């Protein structure tokens, strides 16, 4: 995004790494720019160069939508109505900053859009992509001028001058941002900030009136129900109060605000089309719930403490619940009798009047996302009833025991706990394909193919098409018809998404329909100015039992010389497909850390840096390895600039582009193209069409086939296919006899990171996982120093600064082996994430603390590596091997998550199994990417494993501190990178007490108020340092309706503040 002339220093949503590059190139003290925050909507970051280092300051709006520097909140620094005033203030002096703002850095001119982008279009005509320089700034000015002109003629009676000034500032600066953002998520962030400031006083008045009305209501409710009045025999006189005016006015105001937002959205969409040049801009309904996604977990089936008859306890389980009836609740007791496979429900102390349900009468469990303790149960013939458990753990335990009962009474044997999936990508070249595409769907042609005997129907099919020659309505029907003809089976559509002439569809076997949940779709445009959909991507994500999957079909910028533009497309897609993400709590992490398995396929358009004749010569002699040495995609992966950590099966087929249509031999490549005006365009044969994947470390995935067809000739591209096998996709259930007497503990001994940055800041770590409650946070690092190169910092943490022992919700070794921890390295000054990684707990169970090195990435780029010492103690237990008996297929048909406020395709109720699934990078023999980094020493010898696959414990391109090794050879444990000989010591923070909370979520959970965690964090109340400043009015604003709860929260916050400062 280019800034308007009034804000030459504003760069919009550029990545932090690009920001640091621009400032470092300038190098002058006081050089600065402002960009949008990566983590908080409506917030910004001021980045300043000082003494060859960069300091980032977060700019956030307060409750009145005034802007201030968050780092200076405690020093009484003034607030500002807009960014221009804020920047002007710091241009006049330091005012607490590291340097006065002197030299604004303007956004570089984007001349990439001016290049033609038509080399892979239809031969019959060329579509030229071009824009004039500075058109973005001109468009921004047109938007501001148009809206400001409308303001001049608008009625202003009853509004004060201060509000008029704020409206003018918004129309000049904030409106263009809303116009741009509405194309992606339909939000009007800056308009809502303006409105929030204008009616904050009204909210306080309404709360006061509400309290007064509640008081009067309680008085008359009590009086109307008194015995004296009821028995007096006198007819109750109807009293009418003239209170219509206030409610009517509030309703009118609410209607006006709603109408305003709808009208503004309509105007902004029109502006996006007519001024910014967008095509088919649509408002995309947010599909992420306000509450963070919670993946349920199976509890260990422990006997109750103090039980006299442990055998009886293990056969019977009781739970205290309340009937959730809105305003009124009544208590109930659930009792599960394992031996009889029955559920009893009765009032406390009245078991003789129990309602008895056989296992088959419990038809459905529906987990609420808005209330973590809430569970809906559908009984056969009785509909749904909702209950509230005492704790989240109790709800999960109940679900797990019900599943055990179901499994016990399941007649058929458990399956193999393995599924296969087919991925196909085809650039049709705007031409209808032949009616039969059997070779594509049967994985036959060139490369690693499947034989006829191996061609059983796969469990999942994901098909991506670019430059489609099929009509929109035909895609799903045609694919289903092909599969039915080949396999005699009617496959079920999970989701379909299109963007201009790109399509993606996912289908599954009909018996798997009830194993699918959390279906999401999204698309993003990366054509001219990121507004045209001729290039871009669309994605579909969902959960298969407990394994999260994501499929992205893309069409990137073409042209051998447009390498940087393709890389930028990749990063734009990672940011743009935000609706595919799994939940609010882990939105810090990009898509590459959100799923157990992410598949990225399509016409990636990366080329081979060779001459056409040389490419054909090598292709004819099957010298594919030499061809791939000059493959742009693999070179960009090794450099860490794009597709970091993605894997690809060995390519053993010729380039899939550019064939002469209606031919398909290696003599039929055509790479010289005559264009209009007598120009000549060279498009060398290349591997444009690819299938890549990225999986969590320790998961299990095997690529069975990867190739292209040799008989589909209607396009200049050949269709590409890939087949995968995924293991451990079903739900893991601890054995019913599991009686763990002691709790496991996850312990961190030390951590050190190498991070590419020129920022001057301290860092802290945040740990996220589905195997423990809340977010655990470290203290700020006490030691860091610059590396030799000067653009890398090395923060380190000792054991006292890392989170204390974390107790997972389940202390079962086989369960913990399947879990992962996401780690974010954040700045202590701006709270922005600088790097992220994923750890597999399977590497640390019952082992001494050993250094484990994993790559760090940020927004899809390699930014360094982390070395961490961690171990998981499970007292009295040895590590055990998992078997298929540890998994149950029945639960996928049974447990659902209630998708509150989520926008989903029209499907039957979707199930979710209770724990995140597991899997491991397992390419077939010979498929290990040679650029893959070494893995740490596994506890079971690699030499004793099957040679048909390898297991990966790390990911990404080679890192400086590692050495390569071949699969099957002894794997050395990487040494700890040495600390600097004379490090710069910072004053170490005061160690936290052993039982002190490390986050707001922890504080609330420790005090039994965890139901308000997500409301507080989502609204910015996420910092323990300032939580005591929260007011009762602010709590009411974010939805804490109970005055008793508000008062309790305030006491908790103040007590924590007093204790932590003793």
Instruction: Strand 67-69: give its sheet, edge to edge.
Output: 67-69, 53-61, 44-50, 31-36, 103-104
DSSP strand pairing (833-840 vs 820-827): antiparallel
Residues 6+ apart with CB under 8 A from 342: 336, 356, 357, 358, 359
Q: What Cα–Cα distance (Å) separates residue 453 from each residue in 443, 444, 649, 709?
A: 12, 12, 22, 18
Measured CA to CA, the distance from residue 899 to residue 89 in angstroms comes to 46
pLDDT band at 292 (very low <50, low <70, confident <90, very high): very low
Question: For 1003, what's the count of Cα atoms within 13 Å in the CB-facing half-sphere?
Answer: 27
**39 near 833, Cβ under 8 Å?**
yes
Of 64-78, 695-709, 798-812, give the lowest mean pLDDT range.
64-78
Measured over the CA atoms of residue 712, residue 714, residue 717 and residue 720, the dihedral's sign is: negative
pLDDT (tens digit per residue) in 879-895? 444 444 444 333 444 55
399-437 per-residue burial string, b: 16 or more CB within 10 A, e: under 16 = bbbbbbbbbeeeeeebeebbbbbbbbbbbbbbbebeeeb
Asked if residue 997 has pLDDT above 70, the reply is: yes
Using DSSP's 3-state secondary structure scheme, residue 911 falls into: strand
pLDDT band at 73 (very low <50, low <70, confident <90, very high): very low
Measured CA to CA, the distance from residue 649 to residue 935 in angstroms comes to 18
Angle, helices 175-185 vs 135-152, to 10°: value is 110
Measured CA to CA, the distance from residue 132 to residue 529 in angstroms comes to 11
Which residue(s) pair with 497 in the sheet?
A: 504
pLDDT (tens digit per residue) in 493-509? 999 999 888 999 999 99
What is the number of residues in the chain? 1062
Backbone angles phi, psi at 116, to 5 degrees: -70, 155
The residue written with tokens 């263009």 in the block is 176
Mean pLDDT rounded to a whole number for the chain? 75
Q: What Cα–Cα distance (Å) separates residue 722 from each residue in 455, 487, 521, 640, 967?
A: 13, 18, 22, 24, 22
Of 62-76, 723-737, 739-753, 917-931, give the lowest mean pLDDT range.
917-931
**356 near 340, Cβ under 8 Å?**
no
54's tokens: 């960069």
pLDDT (tens digit per residue) in 647-669? 999 999 999 999 999 999 999 89
Of 53-57, 575-579, 684-688, give the lowest mean pLDDT range.
575-579
What is the model's pLDDT at position 408?
72
The residue written with tokens 């006065």 in the block is 100
What is the model's pLDDT at position 894?
55
**115 near 681, Cβ under 8 Å?**
no
Backbone angles phi, psi at 214, to 5 degrees: -60, -40
Measured CA to CA, the distance from residue 69 to residue 79 in angstroms comes to 8
The answer to whether the bond into 658 is cis (omega within 30° of 0) is yes
Q: How many CB atoms lie within 10 A of CB 347?
A: 12
pLDDT (tens digit per residue) in 145-186? 667 666 766 766 667 777 777 787 777 667 777 776 665 555
787-799 per-residue burial string, b: 16 or more CB within 10 A, e: under 16 = eeeeebbbbbbbe
Q: Which of 56, 60, 26, 55 is nearest to 43 (CA)?
A: 60
pLDDT band at 30 (very low <50, low <70, confident <90, very high): very high
Asked if residue 129 has pLDDT above 80, the reply is: no
Q: How much is the average pLDDT of 60-70?
A: 84
What is the model's pLDDT at position 656?
97
Question: For 284, what's the count of Cα atoms within 13 Å in the CB-facing half-sphere?
Answer: 21
Measured over the CA atoms of residue 135, residue 137, residue 139 and residue 141, the dihedral's sign is: negative
Measured CA to CA, the distance from residue 478 to residue 284 in angstroms comes to 27
**16 near 858, Cβ under 8 Å?**
yes
Q: How much is the average pLDDT of 1010-1019?
A: 70
How big, in percent rounded to 5, are the helix, strand and coil portions of the chain?
30, 25, 45
What is the model's pLDDT at position 705?
97
Asked if residue 524 has pLDDT above 60, the reply is: yes
What is the model's pLDDT at position 953?
32
Residues 6+ apart with CB under 8 A from 997: 1003, 1005, 1006, 1024, 1056
Using alpha carbons only, what angle is made at residue 663 by residues 661 and 664, rounded to the nearest 5 degrees? 115
């Amino acid at each position: 995004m280019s800034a308007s002339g009034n804000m030459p220093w504003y760069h919009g949503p550029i990545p932090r790494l690009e920001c640091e590059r621009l400032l470092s190139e300038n190098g002058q003290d006081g050089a600065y720019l402002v960009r949008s925050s990566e983590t908080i909507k409506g917030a910004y970051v001021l980045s300043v160069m000082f003494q060859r280092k960069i300091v980032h300051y977060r700019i956030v709006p307060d409750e009145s939508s005034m802007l201030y520097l968050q780092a200076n909140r405690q020093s009484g620094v003034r607030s500002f109505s807009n960014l221009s005033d804020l920047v002007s203030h710091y241009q006049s002096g330091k005012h607490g900053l590291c340097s006065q703002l002197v030299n604004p850095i303007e956004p570089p001119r984007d001349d990439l859009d001016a290049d033609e982008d038509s080399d892979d279009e239809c031969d019959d005509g060329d579509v030229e992509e071009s824009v004039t320089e500075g058109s973005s700034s001109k468009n921004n000015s047109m938007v501001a001028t148009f809206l400001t002109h409308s303001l001049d003629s608008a009625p202003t009676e009853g509004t004060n001058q201060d509000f008029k000034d704020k409206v003018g500032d918004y129309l000049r600066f904030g409106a263009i941002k809303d116009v741009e953002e509405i194309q992606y998520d339909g939000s009007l962030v800056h308009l809502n900030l303006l409105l929030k400031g204008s009616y904050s006083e009204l909210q306080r008045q309404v709360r006061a009136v509400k309290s007064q009305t509640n008081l009067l209501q309680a008085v008359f409710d009590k009086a109307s129900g008194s015995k004296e009045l009821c028995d007096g025999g006198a007819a109750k006189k109807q009293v009418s109060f003239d209170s219509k005016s206030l409610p009517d006015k509030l309703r009118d105001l609410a209607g006006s605000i709603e109408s305003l937002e709808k009208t503004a959205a309509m105007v902004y969409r029109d502006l996006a089309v007519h001024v910014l040049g967008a095509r088919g801009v649509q408002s995309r309904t947010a599909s992420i719930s306000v509450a963070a996604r919670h993946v349920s977990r199976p509890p260990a089936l422990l006997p109750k403490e103090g039980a006299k008859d442990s055998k009886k306890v293990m056969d019977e389980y009781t739970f205290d619940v309340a009937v959730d009836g809105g305003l009124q609740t009544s208590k109930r007791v659930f009792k599960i009798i394992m031996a009889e496979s029955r559920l009893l429900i009765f009032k406390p102390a009245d078991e003789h009047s129990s309602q008895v349900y056989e296992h088959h009468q419990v038809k459905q469990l529906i987990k609420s996302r808005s209330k973590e303790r809430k569970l809906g149960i559908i009984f056969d013939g009785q509909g749904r009833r909702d209950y509230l458990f005492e704790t989240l753990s109790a709800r999960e335990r109940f679900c797990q025991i019900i599943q055990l009962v179901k499994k016990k009474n399941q007649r058929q044997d458990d399956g193999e706990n393995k599924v296969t999936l087919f991925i196909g990508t085809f650039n049709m070249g705007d031409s209808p394909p032949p009616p039969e595409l059997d070779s594509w769907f049967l994985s036959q042609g060139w490369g690693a193919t499947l034989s006829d005997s191996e061609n059983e129907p796969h469990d999942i099919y994901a098909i991506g098409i670019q430059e489609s020659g099929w009509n929109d309505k035909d895609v799903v029907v045609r694919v289903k018809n092909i599969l039915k003809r080949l396999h005699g089976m009617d496959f079920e559509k999970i989701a379909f998404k299109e963007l201009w002439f790109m399509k993606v569809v996912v289908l599954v076997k009909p018996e798997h329909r009830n194993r699918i949940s959390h279906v999401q779709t999204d698309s993003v445009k990366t054509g001219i100015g990121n507004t045209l959909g001729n290039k871009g991507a669309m994605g579909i994500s969902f959960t298969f039992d407990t394994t999260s999957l994501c499929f992205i079909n893309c069409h990137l910028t073409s042209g051998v010389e447009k390498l940087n533009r393709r890389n930028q497309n990749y990063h734009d897609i990672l940011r743009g497909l935000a609706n595919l993400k799994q939940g609010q709590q882990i939105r810090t992490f990009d898509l590459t850390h959100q799923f157990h398995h992410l598949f990225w396929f399509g016409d990636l358009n990366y080329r081979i840096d060779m001459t056409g004749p040389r490419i054909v010569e090598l292709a004819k002699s099957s010298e594919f390895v030499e061809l791939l040495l000059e493959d742009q995609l693999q070179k960009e992966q090794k450099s860490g600039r794009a597709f970091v950590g993605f894997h690809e099966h060995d390519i053993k087929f010729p380039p899939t582009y550019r064939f002469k249509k209606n031919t398909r031999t290696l003599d039929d490549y055509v790479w010289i193209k005559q264009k209009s005006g007598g120009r000549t365009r060279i498009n060398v044969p290349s591997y444009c069409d690819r299938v890549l994947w990225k999986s969590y470390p320790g998961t299990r995935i095997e690529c069975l086939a990867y190739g292209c067809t040799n008989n589909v000739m209607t396009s200049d591209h050949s269709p590409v296919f890939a087949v995968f096998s995924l293991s451990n996709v079903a739900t893991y259930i601890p054995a019913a006899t599991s009686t763990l007497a002691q709790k496991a503990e996850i312990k961190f001994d030390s951590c050190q990171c190498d991070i590419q940055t020129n920022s001057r800041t301290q860092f802290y770590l945040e740990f996220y996982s589905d195997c423990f409650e809340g977010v655990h946070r470290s203290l700020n690092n006490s030691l860091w120093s610059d590396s030799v190169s000067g653009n890398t910092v090395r923060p380190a943490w000792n054991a006292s600064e890392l989170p204390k022992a974390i107790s997972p919700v389940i202390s079962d070794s086989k369960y913990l082996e399947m879990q992962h921890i996401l780690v974010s390295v954040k700045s202590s000054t701006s709270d922005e994430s600088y790097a992220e990684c994923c750890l597999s707990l399977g590497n640390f169970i019952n082992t001494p603390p050993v250094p484990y090195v994993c790559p760090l990435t940020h927004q899809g780029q390699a930014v360094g590596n982390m070395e961490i010492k961690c171990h998981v103690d499970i007292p009295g237990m040895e590590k055990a091997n998992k078997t298929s008996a540890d998994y149950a297929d029945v639960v996928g048909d049974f447990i659902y998550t209630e998708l509150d406020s989520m926008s989903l395709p029209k499907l039957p109720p979707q199930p979710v199994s209770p724990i995140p699934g597991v899997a491991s990078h397992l390419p077939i023999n010979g498929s290990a990417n040679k650029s893959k980094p070494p893995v740490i020493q596994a506890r079971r010898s690699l030499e004793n494993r099957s040679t048909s696959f390898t297991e990966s414990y790390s990911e990404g391109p080679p890192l400086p501190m590692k050495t390569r090794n071949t699969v099957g050879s002894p794997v050395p444990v990487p040494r700890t990178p040495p600390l600097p000989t004379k490090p710069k010591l910072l004053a170490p923070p005061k160690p936290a007490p052993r039982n002190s909370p490390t986050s707001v979520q922890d504080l609330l959970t420790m005090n039994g108020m965890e139901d308000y965690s997500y409301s507080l964090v989502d609204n910015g109340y996420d910092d323990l340092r300032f939580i005591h400043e929260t007011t009762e009015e602010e709590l009411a604003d974010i939805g804490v309706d109970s005055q008793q709860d508000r008062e309790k929260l305030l006491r908790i916050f103040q007590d924590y503040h007093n204790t932590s400062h003793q």
